[in-house]
Structures are given as structure tokens and as C-alpha cells.
Structure 1
Amino acid sequence: MTDKTTTAKAHTNIALIKYWGKKDKILNLPTTSSLSLTLDEFYTETMVTAGKEDTLLINNMMQDPTRIHNFLDFLREEIEDFGPLTVVSKNTVPTAAGLASSASSFAALTAAVARYQNWDLSLTDLSRLARRGSGSATRSFFPGFAVWHEGHDNQSSFAEALPATDLPIALVVCEIAGTVKKVSSSDGMLRAMTSPKYSEWVEQSHVQFTAMQEAIANQDLHKIGELAEENALAMHELNITATDRRFTYFNQMTLDVLDFVKALRAEGFLAYATIDAGPNVKIITNQNQAETIKDKLQEKFRKLRLQIATPGPGISFED
């Protein structure tokens, strides 16, 4: 069986209602429910095969396998024991730069191991397992819009797809920095939770989570964008108001692009910003305006790397 391989492909997701803080570090239970859009253009393909020890290669480069090894050990204890694995990933997402690389990576890894071991698990089951590697990975098993229920224990914290929609949403992704961020998401969340504004953000996020589902059902792109921008900017305000080592993921280019988004709206464009744990800005718009917005950004910020992203599929396998 040493030559057996299994490959899974998972797409990254962008949270429109964010996950930013844990109420249970062991189970990776979030303080809020979140809602995301899976993206077609960014993904991770992960192949697993037998090895002499747990090893990890990303884009043909050997990586520190500690985080992957710990997650595989969790799967060995949770489901069934299995031997060492060689994990080979092809990642189209800049790692640890705030473009949700860990979401697609851990979703693909979880799915690949489950298929490799012939585990008969539902997508819901897989989302619970992947949560222990990366919280946002729970949502990358599903196409289009997905929700991750915060839950109160392992069983109740899982992700599921929202009803399919042909909403013509698009994101203009502004890759301001593709380097590894100085403050990891895990550390950033811990610091953010010390902000005096944190409990207020949690309460508001619960309201926005419900409102976002209504906006999607109503196919109201303006409301979707408005809610996403409010939620994201309030999340980043937690970082700069933290009492424990306040910080920011923003740089000057982030601020300049945010100002440009406001200017686009003033011109009558559908344009709202969302930002994960990093400096990169994603502009929510519709598919008719995305190319024009991209062109305007390129004209204003000539060195900015830009890409248009559209709704993507759920988990898939190469047999």
C-alpha cells in the first residue's frame, strides 16, 4: 500500500462575517458564528501518501511539519491510528498573508486523509475535524456561501452551505503583501480579545450574522457589502484597541486602498472592502463592475497585484 496516494482540492474562503476569537482553545470554538464565500481562483491541492515520518512540502519546498504532525496525531486519536504520511501541497494562496491559506490547506488535508483511510464521513463531520487544525477551514468544504455555527461543544460547532444562489458577486483582490505576517492569526485573536470593545463586537457580530443571511436570501449586494465592511473594520479596530500589545495588520497601502474604495462608492460604484488577518484588501462588487474597478485600481496603484475572484466550488478529489 506504500504507493497509494490520495489528492484533495479545497478552495479558500473569504469571511464576510468574521471569526476573530476563541471561547475554547482546545476545541477551537469561536466566540461568534461566521459566514463566508468560497472563492474559485484560490485553492490548495494536497496529496497524501505513506512516509517514514510525517513530512510537509508546500510548492516543492520542505516545511516545518510540527503543526501538520500535531493535527495528524489528533486525527489518529479521534478516528483511528494510521502510519506516518508525506503531505505534498500545491498552494495558489500566499501563505499566512491574510488570504485564508490555512482554510484551504487544512480542509484539503482533512479530506485527503479521510479518503486515504477510507473513512465514511459527511462534509459536516469533516468540517468538525478540520476546525481543530484551522477554524476557517470548516467553511472551505462547501461551495458559494457557507456558515460556521459557533456552537458550545464539538458536536454543535460545524459549517454548512447556505442555499445555492446565482448572485453575481465578485471580489477584486488587492494583494498588498504576500509575505508572512508578523502577528499570527492565533496571537492576533488573543490580543484582540483584550480590547474593551470586544464584547460589543461579539454582540454586533451576532446581529450582522443574521442580517447577512437575509441580505443573501434577498440578493441584496449593497447590503452584503455594507455589512461585510462594517464587520471587518470593527474587527480590525479591536487590534488597535487591544490592551495586550495592540497592533495592526494595516500598512499605508491598505489605508490608501480603503480610501479609494470610498471614492469609488462616491462615484456610484458598488464597492465595499473586507480584510482578513493581513494587509490585503478584498473589494466586494458585482461581476459587471469588477473589471472596471480593477482597471481603476491599477491606474491609481501601478505596483498593486490585482485579481478578480468569483464564487467557487466545495471540496473535490482527484482519483
Structure 2
Amino acid sequence: ESHPSHGRETSSRNSEVIHAGIYYVPGSLKAKTCTSGAHLLYGYCQEHSVPHKRTGKLIVATAPDELPALEALYDNARANGVEGLKMLEGPDIRKLEPRVTAIAAIHCPGTGILNVHTLMDRLYQQALDSGVTFGFNSKVTAISPDAEGYVVGMDEYRFHSKVVINSAGLCSDTVAAMCGIDVDEAGFEKEMEQHQETSRAGGEKFKIEQIVGLPATDDEPKYDEGEVRAKVLGWVTDGKFIKNGELNEGSEAAVVLDRTNFYGEAGGQVGDTGTLQRRGLASGGPPPQRRQGPERDERRPHGPRPGPPGRDAGGVGELRRNEPAVLGTAEV
């Protein structure tokens, strides 16, 4: 540890939230460890006098078109074994939080907060009591393999170890390079920039946010695993939302779906792709693959995402993950 004590960097910026396990895919490892871990963490805080509080959380719907997503999230949380959940309506919501305007909400009493600095102090003391040695004021400058494992350090100090666990936080790529592990940061930056450019180009061309009366797209499935079947509501071209009609060959349009698992923030993710079926015919796409979506604290506003190509509304789309794709515009 390069600092004179523990928890001076990434750990000191912990959100200090005890999550209940609402959003994870039922049956996944994250769902199981989050719900069980919350119980264990509350118990540890109580036993070791770590300041904490079960604050609870409200997840709200402010418009009728958000109700299906809220109900799906409620079912997901119950499938994960989250305890004490309740669906509330306006008056009951205002009793808990008068400053919130909502037509419905999920109340999750198990969400809480804790003092992470005290938690780290307790864990540090337990480690000392168990015989762990800490090397403070000792910046890692080199790691080299030897016959019995690794040598950490150079002239000022040396630690011999069979195993090196890279838990260096924001410096983990530097430590990995010391061990001879190549982190392709340049490749990552290149891929991210390509997706951001595609997203910006689609936004500038179609200006979806300026179109009045555009139906909302439920993007709640973007936090889930697997594929999603969606209905094509129409498309946007020449600044207009079209429900029915035809597109000429070579035209470009942004397809509007009733739901999507595309993760549109920051230009989307590598692997967001989809196929369209129309009158029994399918276009595009390899077999679906699955992936785990991220956790988050707040619901994000729904909105249409540029989707796969199509000729007329009313079709059925299959949105998939983990296959190369370009988000934004598409030729039809």
C-alpha cells in the first residue's frame, strides 16, 4: 500500500449504499450474492458497531406508460427474494416522501446506508488479529516472476509470494502490466469512440428528441440478460414519425420499438444488435447470445432507441446482445 493507511483511494469514494438486489437477473450469481450479502452486511454492522441505517427506497412511476416497467421490476425483485416489497399509490407514497410526485411506486425497505470508513477500520483490525501483515508507505514499483511465484518490489523492499492478487483499483492496469499482462486500453478507446460517433451521427440526423408525439420505448430490459421480443411502432425519417408506409431501397430510418434491451448511454455497447420479422420472414442476425446487465440505483427515463432496419410498422423485433453491431442508422 503506497499510502500511510488503508482506504485512501477508490474505497474512500464508495457510495455507502447497501443494495437490496432489485435489478439483477433472477437466479444469477449477482442476484444471489446481493440479497444474501445485504443480510450479512447488516448483521456485521450490528455486531461490530458500524454506523448504518435501513433507509428504504422508493422507485417511482410518474406517468401511466411507466407502470408496466415498474410492475416488471417488482416481479423481478420478488423473484430475487427481496423481502418487504410493497406497491404503493399516490397517497401512500406522499406519506413516506411528501416531495415526490408519482402515481405508483415500489417501496423497498431493505435498502440502506452505512459508514464505509468505519467498516474498513473494522475489517483492517480483524485482518491484523488474524495475522495479516500490511506494508504501508510501500508503493509497488515492480513485480517479477521467480521459481516460487512472484517478487513484489525492488531495492527498498521485497515481498515473495506464490500468488499476487491485483486489487489496485484505478491502478490495476499498471499493476497488470508489471506482471506482463497486456491491457488493450487503446483498443477499448477506439471501439468506444466508434460507438459514440455512430450515436452522435444518428442523433444529429434524426433529431428524435425534437419530434412531438413520439411513443415511449421501455428500455428497462437493458439491465437484464438475454434477448427481448419487441413490436415495431414505426420509424423516424425526414423529421417525422411514420406508423405505416414504405421506405425506398437505400433509405435510412430510425426504428421505434415498444421495448428494447439496447443500452444507449455513451453510444451503446458492443454487441447490441437485432433482427426484424415481417409476415413470417426474418432478416439479419446470428443466433442470440446472452449477457449480464449492470446494476443502478435510479430508473432512467425511457425513450426511443435507434434500432434495426425495417420496412413497415407492426413487425416483431428480436433484440440481442454480444454480437458485433452498429447502433444508430441502418439501410433498408
TM-score when scaled to structure 2? 0.22
The higher radius of gyration belongs to 2
Greater percentage in helix: 1
TM-score when scaled to structure 1? 0.23
